Amino acid sequence: MSYLQMHELVEKLNKATEEYDKGCPIMTDKEWDNLYFQLIQLEREAGYTLFESPTQKVSYTVVNELKKIEHNHKMLSLDKTKNISDIETFAKNNKLLIAMCKMDGLTCSLRYLDGKLVSAETRGNGYIGEDILHNTRVIPSIPKYIPYLDELIIDGEIICPYNKFEPFSKDYKNPRNFAAGSIRLLDSRECELRNLKFIAWDVIKGLDNHISHFKNDENETEVDETVWFKGYANEDLCQKLNDLGKIGFTIVPYITIDPLDDNKNYEEKINVLKDKAKEFNYPIDGIVFKFDNIEYGKSLGETAHHFKNAIAYKFYDETYDTRLKYIEWSLGRTGVLTPVAVFESVDIDGTTVERASLHNYGVMRETLGPCAYKGEPIKIYKANQIIPQVEPVEEEYRLNYGQVIAQGGVSANDEPECCPICGGSCSVVKSKDGILNMMCDNPECQGKFITKLDHFVGKKGLDIKGLSKVTLEKLIDWGYINNLVDIFKLFRYINEWKKQDGFGEKSVTKILEAIEKAKNCTLESFISSLGIPLIGSTNAKDIAKIADGDYKKFRDMINSNYAFYKLPNFGEAKHAAIMNFDYTEADELVQYLNIIEKKDNTIDIINKPFKGQIFVITGKLYNFKNREQLEEQIKARGGKISSSVSAKTTYLINNDISSNSNKNVTAKKLGVSIITEEELVSMF
């Protein structure tokens, strides 16, 4: 019986690993690890292992269009555990340990020769990977030249920080999948848009007692002013990581654990590194414990699966049990229908959660299977303690439609046969990145128009107060609005509008006054309000800057085919989106607007009153248009913004000081000052 179980587990794990390497995982890390630990237990009981067992070797192969490349060193996996006691056993020889964040991305090896980046490859099967040099050259955290003249080989992780992942979260389930898919793009310009980051966590060769200088261009000519770097004649990993930091690399957050320290509280060390990861917005899935002395680590040897000098402690987001009610489909302005899971409310970190996005049609299928039913038990967690997510239902518990009906259940995720807004046909469309989306096929869909209007008047657009989505729907039903320009003609209906249910002279007047106020806008907010695909508020700001805040100049740039793709954080896709957008309506809209140049309110550049202070913002804002505006004001005064509260946090900004949210509780525990928005403004 154990042989059959082992054989089945080996097949499942190897298949999952193969799909993971393609960037198309078929199970979660937690599911994979659970099966892996089951296999280890069976092998221990049986006293033997199967040839293809993932506990003995990396068994999958790379199969895609990128060039295969053989590694110059073994890139094996890590031994894993979920028990602190295994870490204590691993460290019993009293050698200095390094505890480092286990980055959740795609492992990559870089090779430098005489200071120049000459190769970059994915881990692949541990022996053969993929050549991704063309894409690593456009990642800012990977230096193309370094002050080191000999050969240097570095292993690390390509990740997408949570704060950079947010704009892509509707299409990708998590930063790891996003990073794995992005680094494999054939077009490096597309890759450049993805905000990837390289985190170095090991030195395979180099930094041993060398003195080198910097070469900085394609002809490898030396710079006039020599930049010297002196290596150290030692075999300590932490020193080599520090040296990497000195020559331009971002190194993994780590701490050392002194073997002579009587208080080796491993849980405390793990929590310290968790906080560091949150501070930097790094996605991690565990902590790696590794011996600092490199030669000692090598002396321990290896298996075909992993080196014996390190072990990974794996952890997961805490899950909460609830039951699925139904799947709700919301329509975006481009016609994409996004599935949202609605479930019985659960309390997570002091907040009530009853909805979670399923991102797109493909992710919904991966998460819930072909058929989810009303009342089905599901598990909810907060990714990085922020974004509610539905944990994928384990395959053995998934049902098909026939089983649901036979058990008296009602399907909760039937695909919409027609658009919930216009009633037009829907179809599943596959993007160039392999993303499956449910789309409304009707180009005249009113739902698209409402969403477009809502964006135009919303906070990321002209920010017209009072024009909520519900109000817009009524104005459309009454025939007051048929296009964006009609918003500025609403005064014609004031007499009949104020007599409509739910309105009155005061509320209508306020809305019309807000519309008049919004006519004085910046080019940045106007471009953002148009809803040009791929162009968000940050890109709109960059465009407005090079156009000097002048709409006519912006249109002239389009007519002359300006090279937007050359701008930082742009590329061919965004360039094409700008060029292909229909500006007919925009050209008419500007006749009603007074587009003003945005003033640069420079704030005490020399003294920077908030220099060295770290701020965390949570909850609703009342004095600022949005969170980005508040962050801009803090940064202008020299302050830094963090997404999570730690001992380094100076202030937590929260208008609800009595809240029992996770951030408030943590701040009180650490003695971090909690201030309101008004208190912060008084500090300005």
DSSP 501-567: TT--HHHHHHHHHHHHHHTEEEHHHHHHHTT-TT--HHHHHHHHHHTTT-HHHHHHHHHTT--GGGS
Instruction: Concatenate the DSSP letters of all residues of 47-106 into one string.
Output: T---TT-TTTS------SSSPEEE-SS---EEEEES-HHHHHHHTTT---EEEEEEE-SE
Please report the pLDDT score of residue 601 as a whole number: 47
> What's the rounded mean pLDDT across residues 633-651?
84
Contact 532, 519 (CB under 8 A): no
Q: How confident is the model at residue 408 (pLDDT cuts 50, 70, 90)?
A: low
Give me the residue spans of the domains in the chain: 2-46, 77-314, 320-440, 446-596, 614-683
Residue with the larger pLDDT of the pair 561 and 403: 561
Determine the distance from the C-alpha atom of residue 373 to the mean position of all C-alpha atoms in its chain, rounded to a whole number: 30
Q: What is the DSSP letter of 487?
A: G
pLDDT tens, 528-547?
999 888 888 888 988 998 99
Given a cut of 70, whether residue 599 has pLDDT beyond it is no
Please report the pLDDT score of residue 287 as a whole number: 93
Q: 466: left (phi > 0), else alpha (psi -120 to 50), else beta? A: left
Q: Which CATH number fits domain 614-683: 3.30.70.2190, 3.40.50.970, 3.90.1150.10, 3.40.50.10190?
A: 3.40.50.10190
Please report the pLDDT score of residue 224 as a whole number: 34
> If one looks up domain 320-440 in CATH, what number appears?
2.40.50.140
With a pLDDT cut of 90, the percent of the chain lying above it is: 14
Exposure on the CB side of residue 219, measured as CA atoms within 13 A: 3
Please report the pLDDT score of residue 56 as a whole number: 63
Residue with the larger pLDDT of the pair 551 and 655: 551
Q: What is the pTM of this model?
A: 0.50
Residue with the larger pLDDT of the pair 562 and 224: 562
Residue with the larger pLDDT of the pair 98 and 602: 98
Mean pLDDT (the chain, rounded): 81
Q: How confident is the model at residue 247 (pLDDT cuts 50, 70, 90)?
A: confident
Q: Which CATH number fits domain 77-314: 3.30.470.30, 3.90.650.10, 2.40.160.40, 3.10.20.90?
A: 3.30.470.30
Q: How confident is the model at residue 63 (pLDDT cuts 50, 70, 90)?
A: very low
Catalytic residues: 102
Please report the pLDDT score of residue 605 as a whole number: 46
pLDDT tens, 546-575?
998 899 999 999 999 898 888 877 877 788
Given a cut of 90, whether residue 200 has pLDDT beyond it is yes
Given a cut of 60, whether residue 209 has pLDDT beyond it is no
Please report the pLDDT score of residue 414 as a whole number: 62
Q: Which CATH number fits domain 446-596: 1.20.120.400, 1.10.1060.10, 1.10.150.20, 3.40.50.410?
A: 1.10.150.20
> What's the rounded mean pLDDT across residues 478-490?
89
pLDDT tens, 364-394?
888 887 777 778 888 888 765 567 888 887 7
Instruction: Concatenate the DSSP letters of all residues of 610-621 into one string.
Output: TTT-EEEE-S--
Question: At a CB cut-off of 8 Å and minimum separation 6, what does 215 contact?
Answer: 114, 115, 116, 145, 149, 221, 222, 223
Given a cut of 70, whether residue 13 has pLDDT beyond it is yes
SS3 string, 346-369, reads EEECCEEEEEEECCCHHHHHHHHC
Q: How confident is the model at residue 225 (pLDDT cuts 50, 70, 90)?
A: very low
